[in-house]
Structure 1
Amino acid sequence: MNELFLGIISFLTSTIAGIVGIGGGMMLIAILPSFLPLNALIPVHGLTQMSSNLSRAIFGYKDIQFEVIPKFLIGSFIGIGLFATILNFISLNYVPLFIGVYILLSLWSAKFNEKIKKYENYYIAGFFQTGFSIVVGATGPLTMTLLFKDYANKEKVLATSAALMSITHILKVFVFIYFGFVFFDYMGIIIAMIIGAVTGSWVATRLRDKIDGKKFFLILKVLLTVLAFHIIVKVFI
């Protein structure tokens, strides 16, 4: 039953991400703590998001701005190497707390987003986006602001963001394999979520121009806020 439900959730969150560019990964990482043990939370989320972003990048490959990828990739390799060491010093009991606080700051703190904007190059964006993803899972907004500044075309922003997030999640999955996480133990859930994610990406490419992105994002922002508070409260109860 969990497989079917999480497959549907993965479809919905992937569709959301494909339409508005961000939010799907955050929503998924906010829901997963109710269904997965803490040690599986970030790895399973990462593999699902890898399929979601990679499929979205493939569907929109003609709009990817490939010139930014080498810079982002270099930063990502450095970031994943350094931040991987953090896993040995952080109690997994507090991972949902990191996730909830990160979501709230990303959505509502102008100062937090201003600090992020200071690191406006793809080397540093790759370093922080991929590095932080090991701990908080969903870090797509870190490069979205930079892409919107560099490219006025929405399709270019969404396709390139998907490509960059694919790099982040691919590297993250390899890190968790290196640390011994056994993805096979959750194969049923993973397959259902990957099918949902890829299908959601496909649907999003056909709905993107038919939905008012501003109204949709407002609803998404409120929903994400509720979910963030929910997982923060669960840490202390």
Structure 2
Amino acid sequence: MTVLPALLLIVASFFTSMLTASFGIGGGLVLLSLMTYVMPVAALIPVHGAVQFGSNAGRALLQRRFIAWRELAAFVAGGAIGAFVGAHMVIRLPDSWLQLALGLFILLVTWAKLPKVDRLGLGLFAVSGAVTTFLTMFLGATGPLNAAASEKTFPDRRVMVATLAALMTSQHILKVLAFGAAGFAFFHWLPLVGLMILTGFAGTKLGLILLGKLPEQAFRTILRWIMTVIAIDMVRRGLGAF
């Protein structure tokens, strides 16, 4: 990769991390979209996973007192199964099918009047960990899907953002380990990944300041519309491939 595209990604990591820290989601998908223009396809998902691991780990560290640890443990247990299965998949579903299905599902969870659910149980968090970790091996960014579940479970926005960061940290490290075991050479990408993690951490700190100033209702409204825009774009890309 030449210097200019690398600098673009390093700067983008700051702003996308700020977006995610402020509203819980969005930054990972935006960053992945930018990376598709400047990176080889074979390196896209592994490198994005390594960067997102660092970004989410920094956010989880800064907000560790708000993490729901029991739900995180259940998610990790399921996620380990999902990563193992995903790493050994021989047949891969078309990305367009997955994007279309995920986009429609996120729209359904975000806007449909579903039966009231006060919170997801530990069993459902384990299932969520298995399914979304499996999917992230192919799609790269499943944050909106995890956010849809977390938004229904945690009424405090700080608990939601912190726990979601911890969930995504575990998911991305499982993905990195799976790709490493499959033979991907992360070493060649370490300088870029390291710089993107550093600028991402700076963006996270600024985003958390914005999070603390947002009223709860405003946070929920903005989050819902961010999820809607992302879901519609996923549906658009899915339909565009047919």
TM-score, normalised relative to structure 2: 0.80
Correspondence for 1:197: 200
The 5 A counterparts of 1:141-180 are 141-180=144-183
Correspondence for 2:80: 77
Q: 1:89 aligns with which of 88, 91, 100?
A: 91
**Cα RMSD, aligned residues only:** 3.0
Runs of 4+ in 1 over 6 A off after TM superposition: 111-114
- Which deviates further from its counterpart, 25-34 or 97-106? 97-106
Question: What SS does the corresponding residue of 1:206 show, helix, strand or coil?
Answer: helix
Query: In structure 2, how many angstroms separate the alpha carbons of the residues matched to 1:138 and 1:102?
Result: 14
The 5 A counterparts of 1:1-237 are 1-86=4-89, 88-90=90-92, 95=95, 97=96, 100-101=99-100, 104-105=103-104, 108-109=107-108, 121-210=124-213, 213=219, 214-215=221-222, 218=225, 221-222=228-229, 225=232, 229=236
Q: Deviations over 1:153-197 (max 9, x none)?
A: 110111011111100000000011111111122233322321222
Query: In structure 2, how many angstroms separate the alpha carbons of the residues matched to 1:187 and 1:28?
Result: 17
Cα drift, residue 217 of structure 1: 6.0
Cα drift, residue 109 of structure 1: 4.8
Distance 1:90 1:226, change over 3 A: closer
Structure 1's unaligned 5+ residue stretches are none
Query: In structure 1, how many angstroms separate the alpha carbons of the residues matched to 2:155 and 2:223?
Result: 20
Query: In structure 1, how many angstroms separate the alpha carbons of the residues matched to 2:101 and 2:14?
Result: 23
Q: How many residues align?
A: 228
Aligned 8 A contact 1:42 1:134 in 2: yes
Aligned 8 A contact 1:71 1:123 in 2: yes
Identity over aligned pairs, percent: 29
Aligned 8 A contact 2:66 2:163 in 1: yes
Cα drift, residue 227 of structure 1: 8.2
Distance 1:155 1:183, change over 3 A: same
Structure 2's unaligned 5+ residue stretches are none
